[in-house]
Homo-oligomer: A and B are copies of this chain.
Amino acid sequence: MTHKIAILGASGYTGAELVRLISEHPNMQITALAAERKAGQSMAQVFPHLRHLDLPVLCKISEIDFGQIDLCFCALPHKTSQEVIRELPKTLKIVDLSADFRLRDPAEYEKWYGNPHVALEQQAEAVYGLTEFYREEIRTARLVAGTGCNAATGQYVLRPLIAAGVIDLDDIILDLKCAVSGAGRSLKENLLHAELSEGYNAYAIGGTHRHLGEFDQEFSKIAGRPVQVQFTPHLIPANRGILATTYVHGDPQSVYETLCRAYENEPFIKMLPFGEAPSTHHVRGSNFCHIGVTADRIERRAIVIGALDNLTKGSSGQALQNANLMLGENETTGLMMAPLFP
């Protein structure tokens, strides 16, 4: 059986990545592609790398007959997403890739995003889309909220450690390095090649990055008490990839074993041998997440590093993984392609 798929926001990077992935999925068919400002154009005009595919012409959301759609991916900007999803049929299965339905508490949403939430009904039913930890809820969910790409990386590294109580909850530092596609296809000076290539810097330092809302929510829930991590993202001159270097207090061997146990049956999370470090080179274009643990020379200090591709496992790959569950497909279908190296 072929599922009919719509993608809203098809002219952005996560939209294009969804098309790339779904084009290889045996049981999905892209039925509608919406991009308000580019409606009427072909996908080949907007993304010439998809030229070989037979795809519907870009349309406006209002032109889609959602009665024909089995599942809808929303790859729209934050805030726009909630406004659109509020108006979609109440029975339509939706995977949202924006930030709009990630935070359970509307007050937290407003604190981090600066505007009141306008789709509280949908927000109340949304399931957090970190597949490995919300698998069963996702299977039966109508609306799944894709996680932040940085938030996913940090959680893969830290969740099992917090749950197992093997690290000090008050001294967690997450020094994250992300590539530029995480910022989307937006025209900002600091995303220009001439500004970004050959150099790098931290940004949103000091606890101001919005993905902290997700870390706070999830880590506190797991721990059963407030947990706040220190989180400093850096922008690196590369197109894809997130590397999360995490500094924790705890026994490195216990840290390693806890993570190995947590992920031993996971198809996409790969633990490296103890003492080895992952690289974003080795996950690019794939749905895999590599994690390595090393003991520092200082006792009871471990460095845990996670690497994934922000557009795939951190966003559109995760979305497809969730859609597979929601549609009764095998979770890994269409997602087992090897990374592209070099």
B185 touches A187 (CB 8 A): no
Contact of A236 among B207, B237, B247 (CB under 8 A): B237
**Other-chain residue from B194, B240, B280 in contact with A180 (beta carbon distance below 8 A):** B194
Q: Closest residue of chain B to A19, judged by CB?
A: B338
Q: For residue A232, which residues in chain B have a CB less than 8 angstroms away from its CB?
A: 245, 247, 303
Chain B residues lying within 8 Å of A230, measured Cβ to Cβ, are 247, 296, 298, 301, 303
Of the listed stretches A45-53, A58-66, A320-328, chain B binds A45-53
Given contacts A49-B282, A187-B187, contact A234 B245 (CB under 8 A): yes
Interface residues of A in 175-228 (CB under 8 A from B): 175, 177, 180-181, 185, 187-189, 191-203, 205-208, 212, 228
Residue A257 at the chain B interface, CB threshold 8 Å: no
CB < 8 Å neighbour of A49 from B50, B201, B238, B341 = B341
Contact of A239 among B193, B202, B208, B228 (CB under 8 A): B193
Q: Does A20 contact B (CB under 8 A)?
A: yes
Using an 8 Å CB-CB cutoff, how does the interface string of A53-85 with B read, 1 for contact, 0 for none? 100000000000000000000000000000000
Partner of A20, one of B187, B236, B303, B340: B340
A333 at the interface (CB under 8 A from B): no
Residues of B within 8 A of A301 (CB): 230
B296 touches A206 (CB 8 A): yes
- Min CB–CB distance A90 → chain B (angstroms): 33
- Interface residue range, chain A: 35 or more
Copies in the complex: 4
A270 close to B (CB within 8 Å): yes
**Interface digits, A263-284 against B, CB 8 Å rule (1 contact, 0 not)?**
0000000101001011111111
A337, CB-defined interface residue at 8 Å: yes
Q: Report whether A185 and B189 are in contact in the complex, using a CB–CB cutoff of 8 Å.
A: yes
A195 with B51: CB separation less than 8 A:
no
Within 8 A of B (CB), among A70-119: none
Contact between B340 and A205 (Cβ–Cβ < 8 Å)? Answer: no
**Complex: chain B residue closest to A21, CB-CB:** B338
Q: Is A241 an interface residue (CB 8 A)?
A: yes
When C-beta atoms are compared, the residue in chain B nearest to A198 turns out to be B238
24 A–B pairs (Cβ distance < 8 Å), ordered by A: A13-B194, A13-B342, A20-B341, A23-B338, A24-B338, A49-B282, A49-B341, A177-B177, A180-B192, A181-B342, A193-B196, A195-B281, A198-B284, A200-B241, A200-B279, A202-B245, A205-B275, A205-B303, A206-B296, A207-B296, A207-B298, A228-B297, A234-B245, A340-B340
Additional 14 contacts, C-beta under 8 A, given A19-B338, A49-B286: A23-B337, A177-B200, A180-B193, A191-B194, A193-B196, A193-B239, A194-B342, A198-B198, A200-B236, A202-B243, A205-B277, A205-B305, A206-B295, A236-B236
